[in-house]
Amino acid sequence: MTNPHPSAATDGAPARPVQQATVQSAVPQPLEGTAAAEIAATVTRLRGAFAAGRTKPIGWRRAQLRQLQRMLVDERPALEKALLADLGKSPVEAHTTEIGFVANEIEHTLRHLSSWLRPRRVPVPLSLAPARARTVREPLGTVLIISPWNYPVNLSLAPLVGALAAGNAAVLKPSELAPATAAVLAELLPRHLDPEAVAVVEGGVPESTALLEQHFDHIFYTGNAQVARVVMAAAVKHLTPLTLELGGKSPAVVEPGVDLAATARRLAWGKFTNAGQTCVAPDYVLAIGDTADTLQRELAAAVTEMFGEDPAASGDYGRIVNERHFDRLTALLDSGTVVTGGGHSREDFYIAPTVLGDVSADSAVMAEEVFGPILPVVRVPDLDAAIAFVNERDKPLALYAFTGSEHTKRRLLTETSSGGVGFGLPVAHLAVPGLPFGGVGESGMGAYHSVASIDTFSHTKSVLDKPLRPDTMRLAYAPVTGFKEKMLRRFL
């Protein structure tokens, strides 16, 4: 979710109003009365627009993308203000991890859209000649995008870019846990995009439940695995295909012999951006051999270098989204020895960038995805132990490794499974336009970004075009004579 260049410092700590926790339940909560009827009417309106062919012309798709691009420029102050209120993000971080990221995605999509949508010719076997075959992409229809709170602009609009580029109508349901950003998106998107084909539905679990009762042609959900199971169960009713962008415990393997100071800086950057609330952030470190002690010292130095002696006063350091997540994270702080950090303030949802040493595999911080600014360091004796440690757990969204050995890289690629891999730099594979992003197993299914978004939000239709004359199919028609059988067996 971020740009590979660390943000420049700004003066003063981010200030934002205290947001009360909103519990996201995995249990569906029905929405009754007028609100439910309005949601149903919204979906019906969008389905009608798609059925009328409104969204299919490439000119309409390009126009929507340009309008969205213009919105990011013209409405930047409003988006930055909302991100500061929800997550304490500085304007620079808001640009590199949210607004600028989506703008780059749009630019890349506009540049390549024509080639992505072009029909692809496919060879025809001699037995069917003369004929022509091709594949043609067609939009799926009306899609639902349910976005999370941690990157509420990026993870709302990046999937929307793909949905619009593929020619779909779309309903966006932003997270209620980032209420300021949700409100801004609900205000801005209908003003800048075609309101007959794009809608925003605000609200919590009841609104999400009402949306999931509707018939969509694709559901794109980003969030946790518990809610993903509810979304998947709802999709069964209409046999709706879906994309699940989830998370997991993404490990970072550190081998002896690497530059531990540089490794620590990159780990600290990848982990503590957005106060650790990043689905692909390094969740824990597997320190091989005798690297742990030196690495921990370098991590402490890197935190000070990036955020100062008091990260609470740094304009580059964010805040935890709400009380519930704050309480969950602070309960993990006694899972090991505090190397650096550990300080926290419930009043403004601040938890210092924290590195934990002497962490055991069965400690509380290793039992769940951290999703916050706490980095456990686990000691393992060798690469075999590191690979075994990873494979004993659910498949992560990403795996990172700091090593100078090509042999180690090959082993990690072939002997572990993860959504993505980063050697020498965490998180930044998301910033490579041509790389698809997605998980595997418990970390998700499906992928997006670049042409992968077109794949996700399109159906690839197979087309065979064979003329009636000459009728070369006579050989296949009954009755099957001895000569026909001989020829069929030879050519088919």
- What the block records as the tokens of 153 is 């602009």
* Angstrom distance (rounded) from CA 199 to CA 186: 8
Backbone Cα Rg of the chain: 25
Do residues 225 and 396 lie in contact, with contact meaning Cβ atoms separated by under 8 Å? no
* Angstrom distance (rounded) from CA 421 to CA 277: 19
Which residue has 């989204």 as its token pair? 321
Active site residue 38: no
Q: Which helix (H) or strand (E) is 487 found in, with range?
A: helix 482-491
For residue 276, is it left (φ>0), alpha (ψ between -120 and 50) or beta?
left
CB within 8 Å of 70: residues ≥ 6 apart: 192
Q: How many angstroms separate the most distant Cα atoms in the chain? A: 90
* Angstrom distance (rounded) from CA 28 to CA 31: 9
Give 3-state DSSP helix, strand, coil % of the chain, rounded to 5: 45, 15, 40
Helix (H, G, I), strand (E, B) or coil at 256: coil
* Orientation of helix 58-74 relative to helix 179-192, angle to 10°: 130
From the CB of residue 327, how many other CB atoms can be counted at a distance below 10 Å?
12
- What the block records as the tokens of 196 is 């007959």
Do residues 158 and 35 lie in contact, with contact meaning Cβ atoms separated by under 8 Å? no
Task: State CA 461 to chain mean position distance.
Answer: 26
* Angstrom distance (rounded) from CA 146 to CA 150: 13
Nearest to 442 by CA among 382, 377, 380, 368: 368
Q: What are the angstrom distances between the C-alpha of 122 and each of 112, 115, 136, 405, 458?
A: 21, 16, 11, 41, 19
- Candidate list 80, 245, 369, 442, residue with the active-site label: 245
Active site residue 245: yes
Helix (H, G, I), strand (E, B) or coil at 345: strand
Q: What are the angstrom distances between the C-alpha of 289 and each of 254, 294, 295, 298, 476?
A: 9, 11, 11, 16, 68
* Angstrom distance (rounded) from CA 229 to CA 246: 11
Amino acid residing at 209: T
Strand-pairing partners, residue 355, are: 340, 375
Do residues 416 and 386 lie in contact, with contact meaning Cβ atoms separated by under 8 Å? no
* Angstrom distance (rounded) from CA 375 to CA 400: 14
* Angstrom distance (rounded) from CA 18 to CA 313: 17
- Candidate list 75, 80, 255, 279, residue with the active-site label: 279
Q: Which residues are catalytic?
A: 245, 279
